[in-house]
Structure 1
Amino acid sequence: MPAEYLFDHTRAERIQAWAGCANLAGQRAWEKADFVREGVLRTTVWRGGEPM
């Protein structure tokens, strides 16, 4: 797996990924790639002066 190579050959300690809360397919894709959900970010993206 590419992440294993990264950790074995660099000083990286963490990889982050995210998908929008309505993007269930994206969330499942990250989970299938062995990412672990640690939390939910709320009102972190703004468009047109309003949080999404």
Structure 2
Amino acid sequence: MLVKKSLNANAVIAVDNQQQEFILFGKGIGYGKKMGTKWMNLLSTKHLCR
């Protein structure tokens, strides 16, 4: 997964290998994330929305 956009410190929009978009929520998940950053650990997220 790649970060498409950081919404705030607790939410990001990410894209997987099949170009599906996801909204990821979690404490501090978006802090310091930039567009194109690889995201590997989905287990640390609280919610995963399509």
**The two structures share one fold, judged by TM-score above 0.5:** no
Higher relative contact order at CA 8 Å, sep ≥6: structure 1 or structure 2? Answer: 2
**TM-score when normalising by structure 2:** 0.21
Structure number with higher strand proportion = 2
Higher helix share: 1
Normalization by structure 1: what TM-score? Answer: 0.20
